Structure 1
Amino acid sequence: MARITARVPGTPWANTSWSGLALRRLRAAADPDSAPRPVALPASWEDAAAEALAALAPGTGPVSLPALAEEWIGRLAARAVPPKLLDAAEAEALARELRALLLARRGAPGASLWRNDTRAEPRFVLNLPAFLDEAGGFDHAAYAAAVGTAVRALEVATGGKATRLRVGFADLAGLLAALGLAYDSAAAREVGTCLSALTRGAAEQASAALAEHLGAREPAALLWPAPPAGCAVPGLAAAARRALDAAGATQGLRHAGCFALTVPDAVEALLGAETGGLAPAQGATRRRMTRPAGWWSSPPWPRAAPSPCRGSAPWPCWPRCPIRRGRRWTPPSAPICTPPARCRRPGRCRPGRCRRRAPPSPLAPPPALACTGRSGASSSAATGSRCAPRSRPRAGWPRSGSPPAARRAAASAGCWKASSRR
């Protein structure tokens, strides 16, 4: 792994904040299926930032953070002067502030500005844990200044035509963890409320400053949710209240809205944010299925046990079935849910669903045959005497296999005589 320094004369970042910055080279890919590409980024940044930079850079060739960042920073500075959104000095100051935010990993625009995608709506994200000072507090003054820089950058990126801007923050969960606050505690909610109020107040102040030069399009907001009187971060609640009061005292705003939490992309990973917006961080453990593979094909119930209403399915068939509503399960050998013994709603059950017939019983063995002669004594069937089942009277009903004409004749005569083989 080589180490280089960004001191090459004639480059766009000469005599800027990139001068003297130690860089390291490595090969990274945006996703596991992509081919790795050479990436140069600051030596103190982790490998995940290199993967994010590879995802932000268009194409498949080598990419360097100073070169890629100077492309969109230079475009913003050049785009601000001709329409008189900013003068030359203000455009240069905006470029310096953007470089400082990116080097400190405090803020950066969304992926659309990195890729020069004019069809997507631009956004700007601020990394909250990067504003923690050495004493463990939150640098709310630097955060308010970063919000103003983001508003000016998005105003230039949209050409001064957008009525709503998308300035937001990321990794609130990381900030709360660094402050020692539980994510679901009341103190954490107070910190989040104060941060949102500070972001809105600082953004509206920057919008009012642009309105003084370019013209106001929206009235100043006089009503807003009041921030808490105090929070766990010293000075944050008071700073949020001052920002809202200053925004309400302006003559008008350039934008109808400036604060928005958007869907994260690779920029959050480049800044080192673990989560996007208000999302909680992933836990140290995760839920997983501990049952063996294919357990759904071997349910805990026996497959041979029929359900109360269908016979083969292992669950009841109808939600309104009286058996499913707490009736005791009956073995399948007895008829279930047949009126009037078991069904509470006789005649109203769905046909074929709740009213179940008894399972078919096995076939009984055929009855024994008794052969009797003309005098009534038993004889063999080979002698030509007629044979009839003992369970029938002598003049019984014709057999089921007899011709229809014979059955009709026997029905009219009231008896049936078998033909002998004499």
Structure 2
Amino acid sequence: MRTLRVTTDPDDSATRSVTLPAAWEDDAAQALAQITQNGGPIRLSTEAARWVDTIDACPPLPGTPANAPSPARSLSYLLLMRQLAPNIALWERHPDEIPGFVVRLSGFVQEDGFAPEHFVACLKLACDSLRRLHAATRVERTGELPLFDLPADPSEEPAGIILLTDLDACLASMGLDYDSDAGREAARAIAALATSIAHAGTNLSLPTIPACASLPGLRALAAEACAAMEGQHLSPVETGFSGPGPVDALLGVESCGLAPVFSPLRSDGHLRASTLARLAYRGLTPESALAMALAGEAPLPPTRPEAHAAMHKAMERSVDFLPELPEPELANLRARLERGARRQLPMRQTGFTQRTAVGGHSLFMRTSEFEDGTLGEVSIIPTRETPMARGLMDCLGQAVSIGLQFGAPLDAFVERFAYTRFGPAGTVEGDPGAAYASSMLDYAFRTLSEAYLGQHMPDAPQIEPNAEDTSPMLPFDHSSGDTPRGRRLRLVS
């Protein structure tokens, strides 16, 4: 054992003493301090004894053999081996929240591969512990008030949840790539096995365990375990994959839940255990992998960003609950913007500044770009116009900029504002790419189209102020001899 001084709040200088096994990382001490909020020094053995003793004090379920061993010692061993840990609700003993266990899949891979018998025994112990706790505490809501609206049959209530984690490291220890059909097949088989054990003896349906070449015998093992619990009318235990939280850090997982490990290095710069396992299965040492990398070859195939979504889809029918897919920073940016997420401009921005004149009236235009070179902000200022005209043009530029930052396409603005007709209009001076503009907005948005959309838009036909419009908006027939009230008539909506 060793003792560290850690803090749970970076803005607070106060530290707490945490005692835990010497082989555990510093992150585990930080996670233990986050889980335990009662203040004072923390010892892993003392804190674990609280929830272990709570489960051990619950009476056994009906039908349990009289000589059955107590679950306390086995639960403590599984925690020390970092194969299983309670969720926050069970660790802090919150009666109004769903208790459960987090199971680290990579902890069940031995030298000869994945150990399904050990995995099934762990799941049975976790399910039995949750059901014992549920039978003893089901009448509690807040720890004091009883519930009067509980179902008469306890088997209709979920006893808890089992969350799987560290899937990618488990596949790496088995010599399987996360982004491969074999990896997804093995992951589905392991998750379906866990759900079958959790649903055995309940009213919930059992998932189909797919045939897996790297994990033979899982179907027979699950059938044997389920047959032994058939007809017991047990409370259901649901399954899923964990989300980010301190319990995963306490177990020392490399990737939370079913997420992939994108980086082969730890935060301290050393190779991850999953990276070493994948190199070993390819017959490579860290030195030979470094030599390949220096020679321009990839020692390990990179994980595609789409691999996480593919694994998520493969798991849809293997567990009861799946965490939401995280959205990549830029790859799925449009989906984020469609849900109202505003894209921020970088602190140092690129773009261009254009000073020109339209019909003798000065115009100053400036643009700012995102990291990928797309337009993110535009400012259109008529420098010598009235304060009202300058204010309206500035507000229009801000409105267009906000729209661009929320994902509105630039071509929609160009289609709306190009070739608009209002004064000042006339000859363009200062920009060889345009000779005439029907308005300042016409010039500005045709310039943006050429700069950011790669589409050159020709000048609008010049129309003299007193010239007759040859194409009115409505086909009025003047052949009847009636004299129109004005020279030009337009329908304005």
TM-score when scaled to structure 2? 0.51
Task: Say how many residue pairs are matched.
Answer: 294
**For 1:111-154, what per-residue CA distance to the aligned partner results, in whole angstroms no more than 9, with x for missing partners?**
2222222222111111111111133x011110000001111121
**1:112 is matched by which residue type in structure 2?**
A
Pair 1:334 & 2:429 matched: no
In the TM superposition, 1:49-198 aligns within 5 A as: 49-80=28-59, 90=68, 93-135=70-112, 137-159=113-135, 161=138, 162-163=157-158, 165-198=160-193
Question: 1:47 matched to which residue of 2?
Answer: 26
Structure 1 280/253 Cα, relative in aligned 2: closer, same or farther at 3 Å? farther
SS in 2 for 1:159: helix
| 1:76–1:157 contact (8 Å) kept in structure 2 | yes
In the TM superposition, 1:317-356 aligns within 5 A as: 318=413, 320-321=415-416, 331=433, 333-336=435-438
Structure 1 88/330 Cα, relative in aligned 2: closer, same or farther at 3 Å? farther
Runs of 4+ in 1 over 6 A off after TM superposition: 83-88, 285-289, 356-359
SS in 2 for 1:124: strand
**For 1:290-341, what per-residue CA distance to the aligned partner results, in whole angstroms no more than 9, with x for missing partners?**
xx96333x4246474589xx965596673644959xxxx9955513489xxx
SS in 2 for 1:255: coil
Question: 1:272 matched to which residue of 2?
Answer: 252
In structure 1, distance between residues paired with 2:220 and 2:353: 63
Question: 1:32 matched to which residue of 2?
Answer: 10
In the TM superposition, 1:259-408 aligns within 5 A as: 259-283=239-263, 294-296=347-349, 298-300=350-352, 302=354, 304=364, 313=397, 318=413, 320-321=415-416, 331=433, 333-336=435-438
Structure 1 123/336 Cα, relative in aligned 2: closer, same or farther at 3 Å? farther
SS in 2 for 1:295: coil
Please state how far the C-alpha of 1:182 moved relative to its aligned partner: 2.1
Please state how far the C-alpha of 1:164 moved relative to its aligned partner: 5.1
| 1:163–1:254 contact (8 Å) kept in structure 2 | no
> Which structure has the greater CA radius of gyration?
1
**2:252 is matched by which residue type in structure 1?**
G
In structure 2, distance between residues paired with 1:323 and 1:330: 18
**2:256 is matched by which residue type in structure 1?**
G
In structure 1, distance between residues paired with 2:109 and 2:433: 69
Please state how far the C-alpha of 1:194 moved relative to its aligned partner: 0.8
Q: After the TM superposition, which of the residue ranges 238-247 and 32-41 deviates more from structure 2? A: 238-247
Please state how far the C-alpha of 1:251 moved relative to its aligned partner: 2.5
| 1:151–1:203 contact (8 Å) kept in structure 2 | yes
In structure 2, distance between residues paired with 1:267 and 1:164: 20
Structure 1 84/257 Cα, relative in aligned 2: closer, same or farther at 3 Å? closer
Structure 1 39/322 Cα, relative in aligned 2: closer, same or farther at 3 Å? closer
Identity rate, percent: 28
SS in 1 for 2:97: coil
**For 1:185-225, what per-residue CA distance to the aligned partner results, in whole angstroms no more than 9, with x for missing partners?**
111101111101110122233xx2xxxxxxxxx5363x633
Question: 2:203 matched to which residue of 1?
Answer: 219
Question: 2:422 matched to which residue of 1?
Answer: none
In structure 2, distance between residues paired with 1:117 and 1:263: 19
Please state how far the C-alpha of 1:247 moved relative to its aligned partner: 2.5
**For 1:34-71, what per-residue CA distance to the aligned partner results, in whole angstroms no more than 9, with x for missing partners?**
42211111121111111111112232211111111111
**For 1:260-319, what per-residue CA distance to the aligned partner results, in whole angstroms no more than 9, with x for missing partners?**
224342121111112222112242599999xx96333x4246474589xx9655966736
**2:436 is matched by which residue type in structure 1?**
A
Question: 2:198 matched to which residue of 1?
Answer: 203
Please state how far the C-alpha of 1:109 moved relative to its aligned partner: 1.0
Structure 1 246/101 Cα, relative in aligned 2: closer, same or farther at 3 Å? closer
Structure 1 44/262 Cα, relative in aligned 2: closer, same or farther at 3 Å? closer
Gaps of 5+ in 2: 139-156, 266-304, 306-327, 331-344, 356-363, 368-378, 382-396, 402-409, 420-430, 441-458, 463-493
In structure 1, distance between residues paired with 2:49 and 2:83: 17
| 1:220–1:248 contact (8 Å) kept in structure 2 | no
TM-score when scaled to structure 1? 0.59
In structure 2, distance between residues paired with 1:190 and 1:141: 19
**For 1:83-112, what per-residue CA distance to the aligned partner results, in whole angstroms no more than 9, with x for missing partners?**
87968854x521121011111111011122
Structure 1 86/241 Cα, relative in aligned 2: closer, same or farther at 3 Å? closer
Gaps of 5+ in 1: 1-22, 209-217, 339-355, 360-422
